[in-house]
């Protein structure tokens, strides 16, 4: 073991070294997401800003794609991080995993450069393959799609083969099946049909099922591991709850996909399916509150990593408010008719993605830094009372809540004026966009976006410095893993 307080790869196993690479790219792309989000937000207020140089459509596209890719990197990194500890076996095919990391990263770089350098041009068959697929959220060209699928297959091979040779736990079983789905469902976004309704039908499989189902399960696995590491919760308990959560998610989450099928020309029965299951989706979230209280009351456990624990708590709250409250407010078709695709959706999307996914990846960053520095102390009594991680946590969360509320105001105006009063006409669109409440909402969104960006800078600074020179070793969480 190397000297505590210094980032030394000798402190990490093979999978964790690879995970650090994934985490590094993830946080870089997180920064890109914030930057392009700020630029796009500014273009709402000053439409001429960077027009013809870096158009709004490109800024928005990079903002959203950076989000999807940084989270994917964060999740894959987290999987590699826990793999050897969980399986108690060296990773099978680690060299291939390393090669794929570099190939994937090179591909992501090329895709972003092409997005920025080829902003306009003819839409031909070759465009889909080489420039831009033209489908919102998954604009990456087809060659990059194939690259993503191959990469996920290699991760699947690493994970399945390693668990196959090592210890096969409950987390292992769920993770292996989930990676298979992560590979399979992405395929639904790799073809198109000339019928826009059918095309959208399959496209939502990627956007809803890939992102909201397979990612949710992966987050549940990471959460299970995180709770064992930070709080020392017994394996039997976390694995039982992992199964329960997956069952609840399958019970309501998958057919909740129907709320995306309301307005794309699919048969009328999707109103019933989407409405019913979307209405039932928050019930498991409420049920989880009981479990959280039960666990807290039953254990009185002390955690071994305060920043990680704080971000895990932020995850629980963010998921509940972003996905639960903000989702349910406009999920029924009777109201969704007016809110779908307005800033209301953006408000829900921002809080739900941040709460459900970004928070848990950040929690893993802190877990990784602790081990990288030699399992150093990261509980109370950090230098400066840990002001950097606390301020980063505060600024990022307040910034996100502020942006969410601002977009909510703008979305309310949009759904009333543009949709309900003016019937989704062009006149209605411009009337809503120029309404002073809408504009004020957009200004506040930008202000809170800057606050969020400040939190991001502080987060990066803290991740680079926390535990630096720390000589105290961590006190393991109470129960054994």
Partner 1 sequence: MIEPTGLADFFTIFFSSAMVILLGALYALLFAYARIRAMPLLMPLAYLSYAGLFISTLFLAQAANLLSHPLWETVVACMLLGYLLAPHGIWHLCVGTHAAGAEKDAVTEVIPESMTKEA
The binding site for partner 1 (CB under 8 A) comprises 234, 236-237, 240-241, 244, 268, 271-272, 275-276, 279-280, 282-291, 293-295, 297-299, 320, 324-325, 328-330, 332-335, 337-338, 412, 415-416, 420-421, 479
- Give the shortest CB-150-to-partner 1 separation in angstroms: 39
- Give the shortest CB-380-to-partner 1 separation in angstroms: 24
Give whichever of 34 and 477 is closer to partner 1, judged by the CB atom: 477
Give whichever of 392 and 400 is closer to partner 1, judged by the CB atom: 400
Quickly count: other Cβ atoms within 10 Å of residue 299's Cβ. Answer: 16
**Taking CA 55 as the corner, what is the angle to CA 54 and CA 57, rounded to the nearest 5 degrees?**
130
- Give the shortest CB-346-to-partner 1 separation in angstroms: 16
Give whichever of 63 and 330 is closer to partner 1, judged by the CB atom: 330
- Give the shortest CB-266-to-partner 1 separation in angstroms: 13
Give whichever of 316 and 362 is closer to partner 1, judged by the CB atom: 316
- Give the shortest CB-279-to-partner 1 separation in angstroms: 5
Give whichever of 1 and 290 is closer to partner 1, judged by the CB atom: 290
- Give the shortest CB-412-to-partner 1 separation in angstroms: 8
Give whichever of 31 and 282 is closer to partner 1, judged by the CB atom: 282
Give whichever of 55 and 295 is closer to partner 1, judged by the CB atom: 295
- Give the shortest CB-255-to-partner 1 separation in angstroms: 13
- Give the shortest CB-331-to-partner 1 separation in angstroms: 8
Give whichever of 11 and 339 is closer to partner 1, judged by the CB atom: 339
φ, ψ for residue 160, nearest 5 deg: -65, -45
Give whichever of 17 and 299 is closer to partner 1, judged by the CB atom: 299
Cα 198 to chain center, whole Å?
27
């Amino acid at each position: 073991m190397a000297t505590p307080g210094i980032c030394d790869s000798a402190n990490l196993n093979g999978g964790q070294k690879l995970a650090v690479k994934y985490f590094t790219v993830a946080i870089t792309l997180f920064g890109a997401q914030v930057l392009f989000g700020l630029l796009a937000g500014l273009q709402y207020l000053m439409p001429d800003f960077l027009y013809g140089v870096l158009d709004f459509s490109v800024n928005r596209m990079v903002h959203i794609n950076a989000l999807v890719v940084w989270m994917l990197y964060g999740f894959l990194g987290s999987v590699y991080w826990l793999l050897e500890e969980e399986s108690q076996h060296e990773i099978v095919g680690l060299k291939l995993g390393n090669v794929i990391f570099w190939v994937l990263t090179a591909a992501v770089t090329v895709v972003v450069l092409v997005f920025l350098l080829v902003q306009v041009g003819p839409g031909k068959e070759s465009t889909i393959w080489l420039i831009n697929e033209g489908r919102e959220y998954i604009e990456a060209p087809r060659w990059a799609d194939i690259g993503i699928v191959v990469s996920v297959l290699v991760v699947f091979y690493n994970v399945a083969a390693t668990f196959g040779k090592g210890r096969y736990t409950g987390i292992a079983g769920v993770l292996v099946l989930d990676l298979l789905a992560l590979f399979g469902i992405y395929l639904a976004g790799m073809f198109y049909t000339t019928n826009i309704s059918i095309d959208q039908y399959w496209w939502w499989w990627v956007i809803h099922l890939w992102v909201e189902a397979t990612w949710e399960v992966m987050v549940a696995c990471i959460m299970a591991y995180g709770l064992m590491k930070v709080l020392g919760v017994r394996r039997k308990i976390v694995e039982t709850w992992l199964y329960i959560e997956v069952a609840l998610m399958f019970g309501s989450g998958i057919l909740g996909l129907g709320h995306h099928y309301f307005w794309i020309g699919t048969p009328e029965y999707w109103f019933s399916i989407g409405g019913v299951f979307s209405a039932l989706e928050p019930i498991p979230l409420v049920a989880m509150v009981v479990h959280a209280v039960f666990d807290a009351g039953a254990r009185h456990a002390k955690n071994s990593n305060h920043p990680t624990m704080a971000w895990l708590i932020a995850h629980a709250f963010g998921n509940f408010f972003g996905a639960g409250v903000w989702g349910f407010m406009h999920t029924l078709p009777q109201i969704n008719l007016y809110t779908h695709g307005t800033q209301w959706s953006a408000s829900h999307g921002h809080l739900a993605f941040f709460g459900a996914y970004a928070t848990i990846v950040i929690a893993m960053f802190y877990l990784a830094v602790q081990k990288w520095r030699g399992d150093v102390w990261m509980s109370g009594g950090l230098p400066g009372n840990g002001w950097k991680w606390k301020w980063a946590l505060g600024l990022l969360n307040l910034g996100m809540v502020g942006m969410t509320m601002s977009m909510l105001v703008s979305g309310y105006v949009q759904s009333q004026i543009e949709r309900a009063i003016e019937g989704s006409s062009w006149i209605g669109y411009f009337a809503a966009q120029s309404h002073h409440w809408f504009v004020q909402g957009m200004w506040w969104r930008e202000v809170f976006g800057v606050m969020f960006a400040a939190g991001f800078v502080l987060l990066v600074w803290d991740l680079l410095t926390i535990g630096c020179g720390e000589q105290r070793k961590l006190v393991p969480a109470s129960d054994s893993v």
